[in-house]
Amino acid sequence: MPTPPETIEWRKIAVPAYGPTILVAVGQGAIQPLVALSARDLGASVGVAALIVALTGIGQLLGDLPAGALAARIGERRALIIACLVDAVALFGAFLARSLIMLALAVLVAGLAGAVFSLARQKYLTEAIPIRIRARALSTLGGAGRIGVFVGPFVSALIVSRTSIGAAYGFAAAMSLVAAVLAFATPDLTSGQEHSDGPRRHRSVLSVLSEHRRVLLLLGSGILVISAVRATRQTIVPLWAESHGLDATTTSLIYGISAGVDMLMFFPGGAIMDRFGRAAVAVPAMLVLGTGFVLLPLTSSALTIGSVACLMGLGNGISSGIVMTLGADASPDDGRAQFLGGWRLFSDLGNAGGPLIISAISTLASLAVAVLVMGGIGYLGAGWLARWVPRFALQPSHASAESRPDPGYSDPRE
């Protein structure tokens, strides 16, 4: 069984593990605010522009399972390099886009590349990092992405102010190209581990997911809720601020401060998971986010909305890396990439589904009702995670690696 080394220097893994992620995230952050504007400039209605923005998430959903199959066949390093190159081509296509169809295709392909990139990074750290610091490593990976997305809009604002929106796509494409070169130039710390027990037969994605369907259905359902609640937070705070008359500048300031709180918490969250177990973060994070949703209807001013937004940023930040960490814990050694593809499908379904719930309920009832429903979903998710995380996730750091639960674990009391 391939096992990561028990002693490892952070300086040795920092660049190969986190460098490509930061570069790609800066590029993504640079273009995220601009896709809708590009679509509008090309003649799209508001609804069509929103659909084109959503194509990134649709691409990730479509790419999750194929990403697992690709990484299993060619390895995470090659998959990562290919993802970066494809992303660069897609972003360059967006730079050249002179029609809505071309822009939509570029955004969709970028989403597909993002699915491969994310899975490859998760698999890399799962196999390269000692189990005792796995949560810290993966929460730092999540934090690296947050930092990049936070910095990106400031870079794009500078670029657009001096050139054009198209130049921001060129910048993002360049970031992906540099990430591909960095991934190619840095050593692969998992080489020699993947086949330490000799060559393995290639397994189909469906066979792996079928074998581990219990953990995917039970723990994966909790992951879907985590992702839905976290994704909804990004949508609901601006909508609530706008509904109470706050201008765009104030709303942006509230969002930025909340994002700052979010970024500060990623490493403490990972340290808590490694020391006290995964449930010590997963459950409180859902309770904090659920409470934020419940409190939001009581707010009306910039101060009160901002305070609740910071509370939600705290819950979101401390749970940085929780989805990847639980996936790494539950993933089997045989068929890990295929399993993680299915795992990320649950996560991305939540990312897509959360905002859709808000949209549907606010259309039928009101935004306040939608917010309260999401708060209730957060509380239910906390209870579900409290039951299943201890059964499928690793125990705290003082436990040995051999105490890892079997992904096919069956509670004898059931």
Q: For 327-340, what is each residue's pLDDT tens digit?
A: 999 999 889 999 99
Q: Is residue 414 domain-resident?
A: no
Residue 409: predicted pLDDT: 40
Residue 401: predicted pLDDT: 43
Per mean pLDDT, which of 151-165, 231-245, 365-379, 396-410 is the most reliable? 365-379
Residue bearing the bigger pLDDT, 169 or 360: 169
Please determine, for residue 200, whether its predicted confidence score (pLDDT) is greater than 80: no
Please determine, for residue 194, whether its predicted confidence score (pLDDT) is greater than 60: no
Looking at the fold, whether 214 and 184 belong to one and the same domain comes out as: no
Residue bearing the bigger pLDDT, 186 or 171: 171
Q: Which range marks the domain in which residue 137 is found?
A: 1-191
Final residue of a domain: which of 169, 191, 213?
A: 191
Looking at the fold, whether 114 and 218 belong to one and the same domain comes out as: no
Please determine, for residue 325, whether its predicted confidence score (pLDDT) is greater than 80: yes
Looking at the fold, whether 70 and 140 belong to one and the same domain comes out as: yes
Q: What is the pLDDT of residues 100-156, one digit of tens each?
A: 999 999 999 999 999 999 999 999 888 888 888 899 999 999 888 888 888 888 888
Looking at the fold, whether 26 and 166 belong to one and the same domain comes out as: yes
Confidence of residue 17 (pLDDT cuts 50, 70, 90): confident
Looking at the fold, whether 115 and 228 belong to one and the same domain comes out as: no
Residue 407: predicted pLDDT: 44
Confidence of residue 10 (pLDDT cuts 50, 70, 90): low
Looking at the fold, whether 132 and 38 belong to one and the same domain comes out as: yes
Looking at the fold, whether 96 and 218 belong to one and the same domain comes out as: no
CATH code at 171? 1.20.1250.20
Q: What whole-number distance in Å separates Cα of residue 29 and Cα of residue 27?
A: 5
Final residue of a domain: which of 191, 220, 245?
A: 191
Residue 62: predicted pLDDT: 94
% the chain with pLDDT above 90: 52
Q: Is residue 409 domain-resident?
A: no
Q: Is residue 243 domain-resident?
A: yes
Mean pLDDT of 14-38: 88
For the chain, the farthest-separated pair of C-alpha atoms sits apart, in whole angstroms, at 65
Question: Token pair of 81, please?
Answer: 């390099």
Please determine, for residue 53, whether its predicted confidence score (pLDDT) is greater than 70: yes
Looking at the fold, whether 363 and 240 belong to one and the same domain comes out as: yes
Q: Is residue 198 domain-resident?
A: no
Looking at the fold, whether 145 and 174 belong to one and the same domain comes out as: yes
How many structural domains is the chain composed of?
Answer: 2
Residue bearing the bigger pLDDT, 187 or 225: 225
Mean pLDDT of 251-278: 87
Looking at the fold, whether 233 and 362 belong to one and the same domain comes out as: yes
Looking at the fold, whether 212 and 351 belong to one and the same domain comes out as: yes
Q: Is residue 411 domain-resident?
A: no
Closest by CA to 230, choosing from 134, 347, 338, is 347
Residue bearing the bigger pLDDT, 372 or 256: 372
Q: Is residue 413 domain-resident?
A: no
Q: Is residue 24 domain-resident?
A: yes
Q: Is residue 412 domain-resident?
A: no
3-state secondary structure the chain: CCCCCCCCCHHHHHHHHHHHHHHHHHHHHHHCCCHHHHHHHCCCCHHHHHHHHHHHHHHHHHHHHHHHHHHHHHCHHHHHHHHHHHHHHHHHHHHHCCCHHHHHHHHHHHHHHHHHHHHHHHHHHHHHCCHHHHHHHHHHHHHHHHHHHHHHHHHHHHHHHHCCHHHHHHHHHHHHHHHHHHHHHCCCCCCCCCCCCCCCCCCCHHHHHHHCHHHHHHHHHHHHHHHHHHHHHHHHHHHHHHHCCCCHHHHHHHHHHHHHHHHHCHHHHHHHHHHHCCHHHHHHHHHHHHHHHHHHHHCCCHHHHHHHHHHHHHHHHHCCCHHHHHHHHHCCCCCHHHHHHHHHHHHHHHHHHHHHHHHHHHHHCCHHHHHHHHHHHHHHHHHHHHHHHHHHCCCCCCCCHHHCCCCCCCCCCC
Residue 9: predicted pLDDT: 62
Looking at the fold, whether 131 and 223 belong to one and the same domain comes out as: no
Question: Token pair of 1, please?
Answer: 């069984």
